[in-house]
Structure 1
């Protein structure tokens, strides 16, 4: 049975790098290179037209950055998995990329073989991070979790956890020996700190920030 080839779009504003990655993909029989483009706008147009399995994008590009294209792919539910390449391995950039749905983040120093292997891995549903970004990403996650924990007071943290367990404000009050009005005041405060307006959103945001186990 003939194996279906993985369709790929490449975008990078540096011709030599773009051509090198494109040539490496063409040499591998498992890939079908749909097109190679010089800016993010062209790349996004091609993704919308061809719906490739994978897009290999430089983070810094004219018109639209790799992050901009990633966000559009996710927003419009285009289904293409995104591999980001960057000379800048800033941990915040990596964190934002992975949080926004990137399937891989690699250094532009990665070999052509490594890039091709990453494309195949993400086509199978894996997430790939080059060794250079893993430590920085772990540090960023830990720092953000710590910042989130200090965002809420110990009492607000406690009330958020009880809210997540399904308890109502009166139930929480009885559990903590607080009046319902006091509980509501704490809830209002933690809603404001988390930037939400109701219990469900507070729990969801608390989970996203690592405030709830």
Structure 2
């Protein structure tokens, strides 16, 4: 799992609450295969530690001074740092979990997690898996669905039907004939579709509809 000579997993911990940070650090350091190589009190320090030490895993609070945990994960990924980021936070709002994972975190745990949970998260993310307790996973799914609905244009059934026919390569006259409409009416529908999708042109409409999951 790690290429370091010692064979141990190198970890940094960042949290602006020193008592909690030191407690997690002490608990993990007692594991035989974990080396705590840095502890940090804010996101800026955490990012610098990641870029300097290239730890295997960074365990970060979500809401920290300077940069939050998700922003650290994103910045580290942009600089091609190999570090896996696990968020360990008291903030469990669905939007926070969604944003952290979207920013590049490999997992999200609550501060109710014990040392065994955190250690298991370290091992799990190193296997390339996502770490997310069941109760957070349910909220994440709800958040994803909500955002999908927010970004899904309000197309009518007829407009979706025309999009589907368009994606099959049918021309405007062929579509009109197939659904018993005048070609001019189909063109009007196509313009409404393009307006709702924010694109211009038939090909762009199909591509955007596929990107948004309207067409499979």
Q: Does 1:132 align with 2:132?
A: no
How far is 1:148 from its partner?
3.8
Further displaced range: 2-11 or 80-89: 2-11
CA deviation string 1:114-171 (max 9, x = no partner): 11110111011111112331221122223233334454443444455566x5x55xx3
Q: Distance in 2 between matches of 1:99 and 1:160?
A: 30
Unaligned regions of 5+ residues in structure 2, if any? 177-182
CA distance in 1, matches of 2:165, 2:34: 51
| Offset at residue 99 of structure 1 (A) | 2.5
Moved over 6 A (4+): none
1:104–1:154 CA distance, 2 compared to 1 (3 A):
same
Give 1:184-203 correspondences, 5 Å limit.
185-192=191-198, 198=204, 202-203=208-209
1:173 aligns with 2:172: yes
C-alpha contact (below 8 Å) 2:152/2:212 kept by paired residues: no
Deviation of the 1:186 alpha carbon = 3.8
Hey, what does 1:20 align to over in structure 2? 23
* CA distance, structure 2, for counterparts of residue 19 and residue 160 of structure 1: 57
- TM-score normalised over the length of structure 1: 0.80
Q: Could you say which structure has the larger radius of gyration?
A: 2
Matches within 5 A, 1:1-213: 4-149=7-152, 151-158=154-161, 161=164, 165=167, 167=168, 171=170, 173-174=172-173, 176-177=175-176, 178=183, 181-182=187-188, 185-192=191-198, 198=204, 202-203=208-209, 205-207=211-213, 211-213=214-216
Alignment gaps of 5+ in structure 1: none
The TM-score with structure 2 as length reference comes to 0.79
1:160 and 1:77 map into 2 onto residues whose CA distance is: 39
CA contact (8 A) 1:10 1:18 kept: yes
